[in-house]
Structure 1
Amino acid sequence: MLITTNAIVLSKLRFRDNDLIIKCYTQEKGVVSFLLRGVLKGKKGSSKIAYFQLLSQLQLVLTYKSGRSLQSIKETKLNYLYSSLHTNVLKSSIVMFLSEVLSNTLQEEEQNETLYSYLEHTLLWLDAQSEFANFHLLFLLKLTKYLGFYPDTSNIDAAYFNLYEGKFEMKSSNKYTISGENLILLKQLLGTTFDALPSIKINAKQRQSFLSMILLYFELHLGSFKTPKSLQVFNQVFS
């Protein structure tokens, strides 16, 4: 059947000589993968590839067949033309890193309107900003709300946070309990919005430490999660 849906590009993979496999998070069907035949051949194909940059926001008309692992796209158009997300070096590094995280964490073929809206609006926010060094930290933290393991803030004044349990505690109970700078920053980020994010000032070392912590948090709560391959390059860019 034909379905028209908004979609965000999560990954692209070369297949055979001239084909691409594109994975998208769609508004109507959740995660869907597509086979684009012949797009790496000739100028006509290269114009199609331009649509499928990582985290691009598209409108797709697709021929959807339930149970098929690779669907086919009938029509593609841009929903938004980013002004800086793919041209600013720092922002494109964030895009590469977050697309890998999202491709890793979003697996299921099911509709989730609130998650789609979150991705759509936060990417547009990032595209419009000139101060965004901590964007990925708040993005990942708030993403846990849609993935089902957002920190329990009912005891937020406690001196420790248990990554394994996802809650604040009065004492250290296991090796996954954090305190110190990471705890302070966690509490700050839990109490802020994207618009207020520039007011949180941390250095590169603190940023990397907190990122390592939140990726461990993902790993503890998502059995299939793997540390992104782009992490090392990403940290170098933001050091």
Structure 2
Amino acid sequence: MLITTKGIVFSALRYGEADLIVKCFTQKSGLKTYLLRGVLKSRKGKLKASLFQPLSQLEIVANHKDKGTLEYMKEAKLTKPYQSLHTHVIKSTVVMFLSEVLRNAVKEEEANPALYDYVEASLEWFDSHEKTVNFHLLFLLKLTRYLGFYPDDSQQDAPVFNLIDGTFQDVETNLDCINDENVVLLQRLLGTEFDDLSSLKLNQTARSGFLLMLLKYFEIHLQGFHKPKSLAVLNEIFT
């Protein structure tokens, strides 16, 4: 079925000498994987390799067979040309990291408009603001709401956070409970909006520690999720 939909690029991997295998999270059909033949050598086609940078926002015309196989993309064009995400060295590193997280975390091959709208709007905010050093932390925390394991904040003042249950509690009940500065930061970030991030002052140690806690939380709740390979690069850029 020929369909026109918005899509966000999660990854683009070279296949052979001239082809790309592209994973896109589409607004109308969820996660789709496309085989783009000859795109790395073609100069005249409607598909250009430069369109498929990490987290680019596109309008896609594609033929979806919806059989779990590689799909055919007929046309694509940028819908939201970024001003900084692919050119600013720190932002581009964060984009690389987040694209890997999303590729590992989002598996659904069906429409999820709320998740799509969240990722789209968050990226546009990130692109248009300067004080964004902690953006990835809040992005990942908010992402858990759309993936089904946002922390239960009904007992938010309790000193312990249970990574397995996603709840705050008074005492540790298993080895995956935390009771340290990460709990305090988590409590602060719950309910925080991106526009409030400029008031959040963290050193690299605190930022890195909280990110590791978040990634462990993802690993516990998402089957097959693993720490992104780009984490080392991200940590280096923030050193």
Q: What TM-score range do you get, normalising by the shorter chain?
A: over 0.9
Superposed counterparts of 1:1-239, under 5 Å:
1-44=1-44, 48-239=48-239
Q: Hey, what's the Cα distance between the residues in 1 that align with 2:125 and 2:147?
A: 21
Q: Hey, what's the Cα distance between the residues in 1 that align with 2:56 and 2:218?
A: 24
TM-score between the two structures when normalised by the length of structure 1:
0.97
Q: How far is 1:45 from its partner?
A: 6.4
CA contact (8 A) 2:40 2:48 kept: no
Q: Hey, what's the Cα distance between the residues in 1 that align with 2:33 and 2:181?
A: 40
TM-score between the two structures when normalised by the length of structure 2:
0.97
Q: How far is 1:199 from its partner?
A: 0.7
CA contact (8 A) 2:59 2:76 kept: yes
Q: How far is 1:165 from its partner?
A: 1.0
Q: Which of structure 1's runs of 4+ aligned residues deviate more than 3 A?
A: 42-47
| 3-state SS of paired residue (2:32) | strand
Q: CA offsets, 1:38-83, max 9 Å, x none? A: 0111544697011111100000010111204111111111111100
RMSD over aligned CA atoms reads 1.2
The more displaced of 42-51 and 175-184 is 42-51
Q: How far is 1:8 from its partner?
A: 0.0
CA contact (8 A) 2:46 2:76 kept: no
Q: Hey, what's the Cα distance between the residues in 2 that align with 1:194 and 1:164?
A: 26
The more displaced of 165-174 and 37-46 is 37-46
Q: Hey, what's the Cα distance between the residues in 2 that align with 1:135 and 1:75?
A: 32
Aligned pair in 2 of structure 1 residues 3, 45: CA closer, same or farther (>3 Å)? closer
Q: How far is 1:176 from its partner?
A: 1.1
Q: Hey, what's the Cα distance between the residues in 1 that align with 2:165 and 2:66?
A: 37
Q: Hey, what's the Cα distance between the residues in 2 that align with 1:175 and 1:148?
A: 22
Q: Hey, what's the Cα distance between the residues in 2 that align with 1:27 and 1:54?
A: 17
| 3-state SS of paired residue (1:131) | coil
Q: CA offsets, 1:104-124, max 9 Å, x none? A: 011120100000000000000
CA contact (8 A) 1:160 1:183 kept: yes
Aligned pair in 2 of structure 1 residues 68, 163: CA closer, same or farther (>3 Å)? closer
CA contact (8 A) 1:38 1:45 kept: no
Q: Could you tell me which amino acid in structure 2 is paired with residue 233 of structure 1?
A: V
| 3-state SS of paired residue (2:194) | coil
Q: Could you tell me which amino acid in structure 2 is paired with residue 39 of structure 1?
A: V
Q: What is the identity percentage for the equivalent residue pairs of Structure 1 and Structure 2?
A: 54
Q: Hey, what's the Cα distance between the residues in 2 that align with 1:47 and 1:82?
A: 18
Q: Could you tell me which amino acid in structure 1 is paired with residue 130 of structure 2?
A: S
The alignment covers a number of residue pairs equal to: 239
Q: Could you tell me which amino acid in structure 2 is paired with residue 66 of structure 1?
A: D
Q: Which runs of 5+ in 2 are unaligned?
A: none
